[in-house]
Each structure stands twice: as structure tokens, then as C-alpha cells.
Amino acid sequence: MAFSDAFKRPFQDFKSLVIGIVIMLIPIVNFIGIGYLLNCAKSAVRRDYKLPVWGNWLDLFINGIVALVIGIIYMIPAMIVFALTIGFTILSGNYSALMGGNVMTLIPMLATAGIGMLVTVVVGIIFWLLGSAAIVRYAEKGNFGAAFELRAIAKKAFTGAYFAAWLVGTIYALVLGAILSFIPFLGSAIASFICGVTMMTLIAEAYGKV
């Protein structure tokens, strides 16, 4: 599948597109939309690029919540590194000297913050890749435990094809999200659904290749 096919997928069926946007507009109900994105991933793994039919609303809702939980769990390491960065940055400061006008005491704090943020970004990207692949695996297997089979997930996530798909999807989401942000209220819902379908299609297709 070419990347362009993933970009076109959300627009295959106008009715499904409108339903998705409306659902993404409503807090809590939008978990149904997230569950639908998992169905998009599940079908893409099998090389089926037709938009899934809306239905089984309760299952979609539950799967959406589970996907969010999986994503949060996988981002915990990055959160820990970020918290440690803040803590060590605070501890590295000589505040009495700083209050006395010695700005050179800022250097250790800035160095600590810079290194910590760099590590946070690297760890964040690593676990973002793992987390997205874990969500695709959950969509494929339908089993919560499958999302934490780290060896199998790492083999999928740490490949050139998967990284390329993830990077293209991320850039697309950032650009489209920025453009649609100028549409009050509705813009974020449109971006969430369109970018979600595209991203899940891209990474699931790459996941299925390995």
C-alpha cells in the first residue's frame, strides 16, 4: 500500500466520515471513535483497506478506553524521566548565590534541564513507538495481555518501515491539526478522526509486514 492510500482512506465513505467526526466532538462518547480507529488498524493488518462499518457501539467504547489505558502505561517511563529532570534541575541550583546576583549559578541548572529534556524526548519516542505498536497488537489479537508482549512488539516497532510510517503519520497529524485548529470547536474533531484513521492505517500496514 502506498502512503497516499492511507491518506485517502478516511474519505472513502462520506457517511462514515461524518459519523466519526460527530463522535469525536463529544467527550466520553469519543471513546467509541477511538475504538473505531482500532478496527481500522485491525483491518489494515490484514491488508483490508476498506473503512470498517460502524456498529457494536459498546465494544467500540470499551476498546477505546482500553487503548487509552495501554497508551498511558507505555508513556509512564517518559513521565518518570521528565519528573526526575524537574527534580534534579531544582536540586542543582544554588539559590542563595542566584539571589545574590550570580547568574553563573544558572549554568548547572540549564545543563541538567537540557540533558534531562533530551533524554525525555528520546525515551518518549521509543515508548511512543512501542505504545502505538502495542495498541495495534491489541487491535489485532483482541487481548489486553497481548499489548505487553514486549519482545514481539519491539520486533514490529523497531523497524525502518514502521518508523517511517509512524513519522509520516505524525508529521501529517501535526500539519493537518495545525491547519484545522483555525476552525473553532469542529476543527479538532475533524483532525482527530481523519488523522487517526490515517495514522492507524499507516502503522498497522507496516506492523503487518514484519
Cell of 116: 534531562
Residue matched to cell numbers 514486549: 150
pLDDT tens readout for residues 7-52: 999 999 999 999 999 999 999 999 999 999 999 999 999 999 999 9
- Count of residues in the chain: 210
Three-state DSSP class for residue 149: coil
Rounded CA gap, 170 and 129, in Å? 11
Quick check: 54 and 15 in contact, CB under 8 A? no
pLDDT tens readout for residues 140-173: 999 999 999 999 999 999 999 999 999 999 999 9
Return the closest-CA partner of residue 64 out of 183, 173, 166, 192.
Answer: 192
Quick check: 19 and 37 in contact, CB under 8 A? no
